[in-house]
Every structure is written in structure tokens, then in C-alpha cells.
Amino acid sequence: MRANELLAVSGGRGFGSFSGLSERIESPHVVLVGGPGAGKGTVSRYLCGRYALRHLSTGDLLRREIDLATQLGRYVAPFLARGELVADHIIFDQVQAQLETLPEHTGFIFDGVPRTWEQAVWLDRELSARCSTIALAVRIEVPHDELITRAAERRVCSSAECQRSYGARSTAPRIAGICDDCRGVLVQRADDHPDVVRRRLRDSAVIEHVIAEYYERTGRLVTINAAGLSMHELKLAVARLLPSRMLASVA
Ligand code: ADP
């Protein structure tokens, strides 16, 4: 279903009022699906800054392990450097640890997970054991040319705790090379180099297709065509789709 169709049937009030699904469950969550640089991280940070939601980015969690040079970090570093997926069981452990640190009512924005059919099945099972569910998966479609440009321009905060990502245009930092939030130094991600980006883009097209099909089959997928949308317009478009119960609490 396309975002404008969903808003038409829901009267523009969001997914919760459209399906009634979120009324039956303890806490609804949202999955963001999209290629590298599609805006998943930026949209997540915006939503978590406005509402009492939690951003769960498996890429950030793995990069934190690498920065802290843990055993896991040393193991996964070559996978990330090559732009290859790490094994599902590593992702399960990382996500489970996050789910356990928070009250059961916390709504999550899942960014970068699930990336395989098995991860999607596992996540549904894990959440249903906690009386919660993925209410909605938002697919952010951006043309590949644009993603290649954004990856080349993207800089991220080198602080393992922050990792905020910046672009060269509307999402540029106030001071070049310095993080607005924590004053950390901005660096280019190792996997944002053009040859790795091309591989990640090729793989991400397949991943997106699989994950979109998973949520489409259960009527939970909404696609936003983000070509021509500014990052601000994209943030608002995603926020409008969130289940009303996720927006109830202001951060
Ligand atoms: P992107 O900016 O491409 O969305 P992420 O920050 O989500 O990238 O992920 C960076 C890297 O971390 C991936 O290329 C992959 O190596 C690893 N990774 C992150 N999430 C997963 C996952 N769910 N399954 C397997 N590998 C993952």
C-alpha cells in the first residue's frame, strides 16, 4: 500500500486508527526499510526526539562493539567493512539485549533490522511473547543515484555513544566536521566508500524486496516514494503514519 492510499482510508489519522491493530496490543513498534542513506537513521532520531520512542539500529549497535574493540566487535568488523550481513544469531542477541533493558511498553523504531526473512519471523515471535507487535513497516524508496551521492557525502559522529549521521545539504552539521549533539569529530564510515556502497546498494535492493514482501503479506507495509521529498518532509510523512498510541507520549 502506498502512503497516500493509507492516509486516504485512515482519514489521515495514522495506522492505529486505520486497522485497529494497535488498540489490541500492549505496545506497537515500527520497522523502517530502505537502502543505505535512505534516511532511516535521521527519521528515527527525529521521532525519538519528539516522542517517547526508542531507536534500535543494529548497525549502530555493531559499530559500537567495533569502537569499543570487544570480542564481538573484532569478529564483525570485517563483515561491516565489506558491507556483508552478519549472522542472524548475532543480531538476535543484540536485539534481545535491547528489548530486555527497557520497560515492556516502550515503542521501538527498528532501523536496519530485520534484514532477512528469518530475522523478520524471529522479531515477530519475540515481540508477541512480550504482548507487542510490529504494527507497521515503512519502506522509504529513494533512487539509487541519490543514495550513491548521499553515501559519498555522509559523515557520522565518531563517538560510539552518539553516531549521529549528517549529510552535505539540509542535514549538514552547524560547524563543519563537528557533531551538533556531542561535539564529536565527524568521520566517513568505512563502508561508505564507493566500491562498498555499490555492493551494499545491490544487496539492499534484494533485502528490501524480501522484507517488504514479508510485511506486505500481513498487510503491514506502507511505501513512501521519497524522491523529491526533503528530509524534513520525509520525517513528517513517516510521523503521520505512526500508530496513534506510539505518539501518545511526548519525550
Ligand atoms: P545502512 O546505513 O546501510 O542502513 P546499517 O548501519 O544498518 O547500514 O548496517 C551496517 C552494517 O551492519 C551492514 O552492512 C551489515 O554488515 C551489518 N548489519 C546491520 N544490521 C544487520 C542485520 N539486521 N543483519 C545482518 N547484518 C546487519
Q: What is the pLDDT of residues 91-142, one digit of tens each?
A: 999 999 999 987 777 889 999 999 999 999 999 999 998 888 999 999 999 9
Our answer to whether residue 115 is catalytic in this structure is yes
In this predicted structure, the answer to whether residue 60 has a pLDDT above a threshold of 60 is yes
- Reported as a pLDDT band with limits 50, 70 and 90, residue 175 is very high
Pocket flag, ligand 1, residue 84 (CB < 6 Å): yes
**Which of 33, 58, 117 has most ligand 1 atoms within 8 Å of its beta carbon, as the pocket-test mutant?**
58
Is 189 among the residues known to form the active site? yes
Our mutation pick for probing the ligand 1 site, out of 57, 98, 115, 166, counting the most ligand atoms within 8 A of Cβ, is 115
168-190: average pLDDT: 92
Q: Is the pLDDT of residue 192 over 90?
A: no
Whole-number pLDDT of residue 20: 40
- Compute, in angstroms, the gap from residue 226 CA to the centroid of ligand 1: 21
39 lines ligand 1 (CB under 6 A): no
Task: Mention every residue, 6+ apart, whose C-beta is less than 8 A from residue 144.
Answer: 35, 201
User: pLDDT tier at 12 (50, 70, 90 boundaries)?
Assistant: very low
Say yes or no: CB of residue 147 within 6 Å of ligand 1: no
User: Which residues make beta-bridge pairs with 222?
Assistant: 138
pTM of the model: 0.84
Q: Report CA(224)–ligand 1 centroid distance (Å).
A: 21
**Stretch 155-161: mean pLDDT, rounded?**
91
* DSSP letter for each residue of 5-74: HHHHHHTTS-HHHHHSGGGSSSEEEEEEE--TTSSHHHHHHHHHHHBSEEEEEHHHHHHHHHHTT-HHHH
The average pLDDT across 140-146 equals 91
Residue-level pLDDT at 246:
74
C-alpha atoms less than 13 angstroms from C-alpha of 242 in its C-beta half-sphere: 31
200 labelled catalytic: yes
pLDDT of the residue at 168: 86
> pLDDT digits over 159-173, tens only?
988 989 998 888 899
